[in-house]
Amino acid sequence: GENVEQHPSTLSVQEGDSAVIKCTYSDSASNYFPWYKQELGKGPQLIIDIRSNVGEKKDQRIAVTLNKTAKHFSLHITETQPEDSAVYFCAASSYSGGYQKVTFGTGTKLQVIP
Amino acid sequence: EAQVTQNPRYLITVTGKKLTVTCSQNMNHEYMSWYRQDPGLGLRQIYYSMNVEVTDKGDVPEGYKVSRKEKRNFPLILESPSPNQTSLYFCASSFSAGDLTDTQYFGPGTRLTVL
């Protein structure tokens, strides 16, 4: 089955700096890569995603890049703000057994220091 | 408001005492799923349901049961809880399970402690 590794597990940055979270996956059949943000006391919420036929996608201060050859993808947050502090999960999805199975990474706790 | 609700939000129980965590969604979603979240392990799928009366095991189904008698509800049942089931549990739903980009909506989580 799919295995998703995520690094780092914790990340502290100064407000205004950039943050980068990296993930690797093992299954070359994975074709969709969502990123989730989990704020304290809440469930994960989708913030950005990318399909396997796209190399990069940007939404305001958030961008995701995908390297299919190397099987890795990354989340980039620019001009970080205190409200960006949360746990971030990457995920890889592939069609298996009649449905899109989503495998999550282990999470990155991001702390933005004011 | 479109949402996934879970109850209870917090539960402390003892080994062997049967419990049920309820999950309900008001978005008419076909697909529902249960995950557990543990430090260093991320989110792991317990069970999922493609539609009413259709359920299947995820990656960590041992010790859990589910049922899907109605489209909106997907309860998680622990027949005989053990301490290794102490975890944070999330219910999620999406419109379908076959679409590549169907967004999963997560509930607020249930923190379970089994003593």
Residue A41, CA distances (Å) to A33, A86, B17, B88, B109 in order: 24, 10, 26, 10, 8
Q: Check residue A65 and give its pLDDT.
A: 97
Report chain B's mean pLDDT, rounded to a whole number: 94
Report chain A's mean pLDDT, rounded to a whole number: 94
Residues 6+ apart with CB under 8 A from A29: A94, A95, A96
* Tens digit of each residue's pLDDT (9 = 90 or more) over B38-50: 998 999 999 999 9
Alpha-carbon gap, residue B115 to B106, rounded angstroms = 27
- B88 touching A (Cβ < 8 Å): no
Could A100 and B100 be called an inter-chain contact, meaning their C-beta atoms sit closer than 8 Å?
yes
Which of A96, A104, A108, A109 should be substituted to probe chain B, the one whose Cβ sees the most B Cβ atoms within 10 Å? A104
Q: What is the DSSP letter of A17?
A: S
* Tens digit of each residue's pLDDT (9 = 90 or more) over B60-70: 999 999 999 99
Please compute, for residue B68, the number of CA atoms within 13 A of its CA located in the half-sphere on the CB side.
21
Most confidently modeled of A50-64, B71-85, B99-113? B71-85
Radius of gyration, CA atoms only, chain B:
13
Q: Check residue A14 and give its pLDDT.
A: 98
